[in-house]
Amino acid sequence: MSDLKNVPRAPATLQMSYVDYQQTSIYGVNVYTFYVRCNQYYPLPIEANVRLPSELAKPYISMRETLVKEPHMFFFKNGGINVIANNVKIDKSKNKVTLDFKENYGVLNGGHTQQAIIDARDSEDYIDDTAIVRVEVLEWRDRTDDDLALLAAAKNLSSNVKPTSIANKRGYFDTLKKCLDGKYEKNIEWIENEEIDGDKFSSTKLIALLTLFDGENFSSRDHPLAAANASGSVFKSWIKSCDEGTPKLTKVFPLVNDILDLYEHICSTFNKNLGLGFVIRKQIKNVQDKDKHTPFTRQSIDFILPEQVIIPIMSSFRADLEEFDNTYRWVVEPKKLFDIVKKDLFKAVGNFLDKNDINRMSKDPTIWENLYMKVQLEVINAKRS
């Protein structure tokens, strides 16, 4: 696939040749439909789209094939490209249009179409003059960012856009991103098909992890089991709260770096000074690949601890939080606390796994409460000392 860095970024002013065009006005918004030869198509900014194109997507593969083998059928088989621009200026004498894009404007829908055209044109594939693409442009002046986000999401709903891409376009991650250290933020996949140098960590999983520390909606007896078993529904619930103007987890966001640090610490050190009794269990895999590491800071991993165990243990550290100045803070530094209480935690886990399948570990509130109480007891002792 062509390097997305070669695609212009908004704000930008670009010119494109067209074969023909139509113009109408709907509720005061000018709508233009340009018919453009694919071999003369100029790439447009894609910031307005809710997701990035992928060469692995079935539509992309099909488009490339049509462009090469049936260029005259491309117009009829393809839905075209939807674009939002701040200003449209047409030069009828030269059959050229100048499009002005302000920040976050550009391709709303049809990113895969644009990418297929660019890649086919820039490769050894030949696109003849019969390949035509429809480019619909909305002259979207003086509209809010919320209008743009909702429009972009609606334009893409027909092709199963992931909720994470919609949340990112609506700006729901913005506060969280500001709290994240760069070493963590760079590996989070905020939108579909985002190119990341290293291991990807989904934003859905991140929200699920943060939910484990939601002291407003969970307690010592009520635990966020869904974060372990239905992270997608947890994410949708979070989006709904944002849509309604009462976003969850705002008190937890400032702790996000500590939470991810704790996650990696547990994954990379749980077996240290624990003895062989736990790690020789069939549920614990001895790492054969010596390059196995944590996703963010690449700490070496010797044994793989299943998520069914990690999530309930992480949730138990909600007992280490206290409310302060309308947010949360730790009573005891969480990694230090984990090292202190680790043996008690894994003794409880081992006893549970002696009698139950590991998949029940993430669904049984009894073991979650047991782990929570062990952390809570250590925190109480720390407060007394």
Instruction: Look up residue 21 and give its two tokens.
Output: 């065009």
How confident is the prediction along the chain (385 residues), in pLDDT tens digits per residue? 444 546 888 899 999 999 999 999 887 889 999 999 998 998 998 876 656 665 556 778 888 888 888 999 999 988 899 999 999 999 999 999 999 998 888 888 888 898 889 888 877 667 888 999 999 999 988 665 555 555 655 555 445 567 888 888 788 999 999 999 999 999 998 887 667 777 889 999 999 999 999 999 999 899 999 999 889 899 999 999 998 999 999 999 999 999 999 999 999 999 998 876 788 888 888 876 667 899 999 999 988 999 999 999 999 999 999 998 888 999 999 999 999 999 999 999 999 999 999 999 999 999 999 999 999 999 999 988 7
β-bridge pairing 12-17 and 96-101? antiparallel
- The predicted pLDDT at position 97 comes to 95
pTM equals 0.67
DSSP state of 203: H
Q: Cβ–Cβ contacts within 10 Å for residue 87, how many?
A: 15
Domain coordinates in residue numbering, the chain: 4-161, 166-384
Distance, in Å, from the CA atom of 75 to the CA atom of 134, rounded to the nearest integer, reads: 7
Cα angle 65, 81, 108 (rounded to 5 degrees) comes to 125
DSSP 91-146: ETTTTEEEEEE-TT-EEEE-HHHHHHHHHHHHSS----TT-EEEEEEEE--S--HH
Distance, in Å, from the CA atom of 260 to the CA atom of 238, rounded to the nearest integer, reads: 19
- The predicted pLDDT at position 2 comes to 45
Distance, in Å, from the CA atom of 265 to the CA atom of 349, rounded to the nearest integer, reads: 18
3-class secondary-structure state, position 10: coil
